[in-house]
Homo-oligomer: A and B are copies of this chain.
Amino acid sequence: MDKDLNAAGLRKLIRSGEWTTPTSGAATGYVQANLVMLPEEAAFEFLLFCVRNPKPCPILDVLEPGEVEPSIAPGADLRVDLPKYRVFRNGTIEKEGGDVMHIFQDNMVSFLLGCSFSFENALLAAGVPVRNIAEGKNVSMYVTTRKCVPAGRFSSPLVVSMRPMTPENAVRATQVSTRFHLTHGAPVHLGSPEELGINDLSNPDFGDPVEILPGEIPVFWACGVTSTLAAVSSPLPLVITHAPGHMFVSDLRDEDLTLL
């Protein structure tokens, strides 16, 4: 079973090319991460962007220039251990593919940022249903009219993910996700999508639409896609990210990230 793999086992399948699909639901209980790689020359400004916007861009690990083995997964290689990458040149996507062994350059800095998969597991464990998981879909994501705090050349609107819930479950989900401040933490909004500039919940900017039942309200969390938009908001010569849903799986356990 995919979910019974541990992180190292899943990374081994990915590195050998046997696993090329999204990582959602795989190696349950291990922290997954968004990846951004960019030139050292821009690394301070991008790190500053993450520090200034901790809800969408919670920092799990930042590597020294040229390094590819993260402290949160000894033995891993960020150039080959994700199932799919995106390569951007001068702000435009150039290719999507299976490894970046010969594209990564020694002057690049790698950032690993938290992902909502961790608190989704905690929601399920707390008895809060998660619609996108129940429907076997990617979570609904929307570009909002809220601006992140810019840093140097980097800027981005806030991107959010949405999960519909009963009001009672929204309260419980707020309590549960608050503990996971390194994977987006508490919701940024609930109930009124128009206040975020979202006019049609059935038409997300990324991911899939999900059913919203009578009596449910939309609950919005800051989303790691924000970090990808920020990284390509300036036309850098080379930026590498994970492909959506194809995350880096670390050796950290979800519970390692809780504050309390």
Proximity string of chain A (15-54) to chain B, C-beta cutoff 8 Å, 1 when within and 0 when not: 0000000000000000000000000100110011001100
Per-position binary interface string of chain A over residues 230-252, scored 1 when its CB falls under 8 Å from any chain B CB and 0 otherwise: 00000000000000000000000
B residues in contact with A40, CB < 8 Å: 44
Mask of A52-80 contacts with B, CB within 8 angstroms, 1/0: 10000001001010000001000000000
Taking CB atoms, residues of chain B closer than 8 Å to A51 are: 47, 51, 59, 62
Is A259 engaged at the interface, CB distance under 8 Å to the other chain?
Answer: yes
Q: Give every chain B residue within 8 A of A172 (Cβ-Cβ).
A: none
Chain A, residues 150-162, CB within 8 Å of chain B (1/0): the string is 0110000000000
The size of the chain A interface, using a CB distance under 8 A, is 20
Kindly identify, within residues 172 to 198 of chain A, every residue whose CB is under 8 Å from any CB belonging to chain B: 178, 181, 185
**Chain B min CB distance to A69 (Å):** 15
Please give, as numbers and ranges, the residues of chain B lying within 8 Å of A44 by CB-CB distance: 40, 43-44, 47, 109
Report whether B181 and A151 are in contact in the complex, using a CB–CB cutoff of 8 Å.
no
Are the CB atoms of B259 and A178 closer together than 8 Å?
Answer: yes
Whether A64 contacts B151 in the complex (CB less than 8 A), given A47-B47, A47-B48, comes out as yes
Query: Which chain B positions have C-beta within 8 A of A149?
Result: 71
Q: Does A101 contact B (CB under 8 A)?
A: no
Which of A62, A109, A149: most chain B CB closer than 10 A? A62
| Beta-carbon nearest neighbor of A152 in chain B | B64
User: With A and B bound together, what is the CA distance between A43 and B151 in angstroms?
Assistant: 14
- Tell me the complex Cα distance, A109–B51, Å: 14
Task: Give the shortest distance, in Å, between A201 (CB) and chain B (any CB).
Answer: 29
Determine whether the beta carbon of A259 is less than 8 Å from that of B47: no
Q: Is A1's CB within 8 Å of the partner chain B?
A: no
Chain B residues, CB < 8 A from A181: 181, 259
* A134 in the interface (beta carbon within 8 A): no
When chains A and B are docked, how far (Å) is the Cα of A62 from the Cα of B149? 12
Q: Is the CB of A178 within 8 A of B260?
A: yes
Closest 10 A/B residue pairs (Cβ)? A44-B44, A43-B44, A47-B47, A51-B59, A48-B62, A51-B62, A259-B259, A181-B259, A44-B47, A64-B152
